[in-house]
Every structure is written in structure tokens, then in C-alpha cells.
Amino acid sequence: MSIQKETPPRRVRRTPGEARTLALASARRLLLKSGPDAITLQAVAADLGMSHTNLLHHFGSAGGLHSSLMREMVRELTDAIESAVTRFRSGEGSVRDFVDIVFDAFDAGGAGQLAAWIMLSGEAEHLAPVQEVVRKYIDNIEETADSAQNHVRDRVTTATLLVTIAAFGDALIGDHLRTMVGRERTAVRAITAAMLSTYVPPPQR
């Protein structure tokens, strides 16, 4: 009886754009599941059935893949923050809506893992687009705030620090801390929204 050899799976031919998109999606999954150390060219190539050489062609090195993923995720975080600010300033969203959008970006969107990775790798320059959005947000509120409102900048920067640090911490260790103290999954969001309401000037109609 002859034993047939298994035919290796055929590699799927993809356009350069498709290959990059799939590689970045794979790298993001690895980041969220196992952390930044899991993002290697070999791991991504194995996940997608691509060759290591193919990925080198698209990204140059593992560092190039990392930088590309950082840029994409920072862009998504920037878009999420802009959306949250626009909705809140237009009166379409509540403080809790604003909190949920930012928390979702840091949690399911992976920005919590991303921010930790960027800071630990010493590549804080990748956060420049986020810094620009936050700066514009603060300046816009100062310009449109009622002149009778006191210490607007202090209140807005306090609120920004509060929601960002809370979202970052909740994404990284929130599950463990909530289990320790026996609180529901949305506890930190609710607490943050309640505190934020104290500091954010209401939108001007």
C-alpha cells in the first residue's frame, strides 16, 4: 500500500496592499493576545501562510512592522478621540458617551497595549498625532467657553488627564482590579464619567 505524501498548502497570491493589511491585522491580534514580544516576522508569516522573505519585502525588518502597526493604531486612536470630542462639543453625546468612546479605544481597540508598548520601547514620538488632537481640543474649549467660567484650562486638562489615565489603566489591569474588589465591568467608566462631569465645561449652544 503506497503512502501519499501530503501536498503543502499553496501560498495565496496577494497584492502588496493586501499583504500589508493582512500582516498588520495579524500583528495586532498578536499584540492584543500575547503582548509586543509576540510580534515577530516569523509569527506573522506563519499566521498568514506567507514567507518570511515576503514580509521583509513589505516592512524591511521586524522594527518596520512594529512602526507600521504603531502608526496605524495611533491613527485609529486619534480618530476615536476626535470623534468623541466632536460629538460632545456638538451636544450629540453625553459625558458618558465621551468616556465610552475613549475607553473602547484603549480596551477593544488596543490603544492601552499600544501606549504601554510605545513608552516602554522609548518611541514616544509615535504619539505626536494624539498630542496634536488633545491640544486642539483644549484650545477649542478655551475659545468657546463662557467668559464667566473660571479656570477653564485647568478644568479641561484635569478632565483630559483623568479620562486618559483611567482608560489606560482599565485596559491594562482593570479586569484584575475589579475582580479583587468585586465590582462590575463598567465600574471604572461610571466613576470616571461622574468625576469628569465636575471638570468639563458644558458645550455652548
pLDDT (tens place) for every residue of the chain, 205 residues total = 455 555 544 555 667 778 889 999 999 999 888 888 888 899 999 998 888 888 888 888 888 888 888 888 888 888 887 887 777 777 777 888 888 888 988 888 888 888 888 888 888 887 887 777 777 767 766 665 555 555 667 777 787 888 889 999 999 999 999 899 999 989 999 999 998 887 765 555 5
Q: pLDDT value at position 23?
A: 92
Do residues 104 and 168 make contact, with C-beta atoms less than 8 angstroms apart? no
Q: Dihedral of CA 55/60/61/63: which sign?
A: negative
Q: pLDDT value at position 188?
A: 93
Q: pLDDT value at position 9?
A: 46
Q: Name the CA radius of gyration of the chain, rounded.
A: 21
Please give the single-letter amino acid code of residue 57.
H
Q: pLDDT value at position 8?
A: 47
Give the Å distances, CA to CA, from 160 to 59, 81, 111, 116, 196: 35, 11, 16, 18, 9
The HSE-up count of residue 127 (CA atoms within 13 Å, CB side) is: 16
Do residues 110 and 39 make contact, with C-beta atoms less than 8 angstroms apart? no
Do residues 59 and 27 make contact, with C-beta atoms less than 8 angstroms apart? no
Q: pLDDT value at position 25?
A: 92
Distance from C-alpha of 74 to C-alpha of 184, rounded to nearest angstrom: 29
